[in-house]
Chains A and B, each alone.
Chain A
């Protein structure tokens, strides 16, 4: 069974950092591209970042470019996003998703940026 479990969210002050994790099971990250997608409270979906199946191609939304870094650990079959210089507008539930079609989603982890 395919499963994605995000963790690492929480309350952080503006300018702070946070690293989110996504533990994947039921498939290997080496076979699929992965994404981070976020949703601010009461708002729509916003794609954040993409990593190809071989890890060689990475994209970011302009809103996070230079502040967020996507990575993965194949031994742990886990995806990460390091978020630096956090702003109030980064407050959202962050989901990891599988494949270009986003065929599987985790339950999400809430990041709140506030003083």
Chain B
């Protein structure tokens, strides 16, 4: 099974500052034939289902603010929020859908410093 490890577990960031969340997979999730990384990022606010932010590691879902960006390839990935807004307080998860079981990271709780 592919193990997804996020860091940090908790991230305090000041409003307007940059937030960076890392996700590392135990095996590559890059499909060489398509050159796609089978890696997604989700945001979950309390009492709500998760919301897709980024797929293929770097493609922003429609309607997601452009302050959210994803990067990385192979086994190392990053979600960046360029300028933290109050509504960005949430738990963020990465997930690989390259090989079943389609494992999630443990989550990173983003809070206001």
A binding-site residues for B, Cβ under 8 Å? 35, 44-47, 50, 59-62, 95, 100-108
Can you identify 16 A-B contacts, CB atoms within 8 angstroms? A44-B93, A44-B104, A47-B104, A50-B102, A60-B101, A61-B101, A62-B1, A62-B101, A95-B50, A100-B38, A101-B40, A101-B52, A101-B55, A103-B61, A104-B52, A105-B51
Chain B residues with CB under 8 A of A95: 49-50
What would 19 more interface pairs be, CB under 8 Å, given A44-B91, A102-B40?
Answer: A45-B93, A45-B95, A45-B104, A45-B107, A46-B104, A47-B103, A47-B104, A59-B100, A59-B102, A60-B101, A95-B49, A100-B102, A101-B40, A101-B52, A102-B50, A103-B55, A103-B61, A105-B51, A106-B49
- Interface SS majority for chain B: loop
Chain B residues with CB under 8 A of A108: 49
Chain A residues with CB under 8 A of B44: 45
Chain B residues with CB under 8 A of A50: 100, 102
CA–CA, A107 and B38, complex, Å = 24
Interchain CB contact under 8 A, A102 and B95: yes
Chain A residues with CB under 8 A of B55: 101, 103
CA–CA, A107 and B91, complex, Å = 17
B 52-81 to A, binary, CB cutoff 8 A, 1 in contact else 0: 100100000100000000000000000000
